[in-house]
Amino acid sequence: MTVNHAPPVTLASLSRQTGLAVLDHLERSVRIPVVDGIQAQGDLIVIPMSEISDLSFWQHGTWTDVPSEGVELLRGAAGGNPHTLVADPGTCRWTTNVSEPGGLVIGVFEASAPVYLLHPEHGASGCTPGRYAVRRQREYTPGGWGSRLVAD
């Protein structure tokens, strides 16, 4: 039996690691859940690659290691709060060298250990090891006139 002696990942520990302050209404001491399915955070959605069939990688695309302070995936509307991907060093890499017909993809990350999505207003959630696509979310407009990007 393996015993994990690592301290639990909390909103407070992620905030310290990244230097990104979170809003006062969030409970900083709660352990961040880590899940393996689709999850949304404000105006972005994270989808396991096993659920996607229409995404392609650029032929000469590059991957970047996610630093311990994280990488900003998307900033909210009008310069709002950032959605930040946070990982321990050497456990996650990220690329924006991808495309899909709908044009909603921001990038793809690949993790060998749990990684976290941190947002100052929404808090944090975790993803199990694996490969995930990060997309913008869209919503249908009232009256059936198409759709628009969700603005956080």
User: How confident is the model over 105-119, as pLDDT tens digits?
Assistant: 999 999 999 999 987
User: How confident is the model over 27-62, as pLDDT tens digits?
Assistant: 667 888 899 999 988 788 999 999 998 899 999 999
Higher pLDDT, 136 or 77: 136
Q: Which among 137, 120, 29 is positioned nearest to 72, based on CA atoms? A: 120
Question: 51 by DSSP, 3-state: which?
Answer: helix
Burial class (CB in 10 A: 0-12, 13-18, 19+), 108: buried
pLDDT of residue 139: 52
Q: What global pTM score does this model have? A: 0.80
User: How confident is the model over 126-140, as pLDDT tens digits?
Assistant: 999 999 999 986 555
Task: From residue 104, give the alpha-carbon distance in Å to each of 20, 55, 74.
Answer: 26, 10, 12
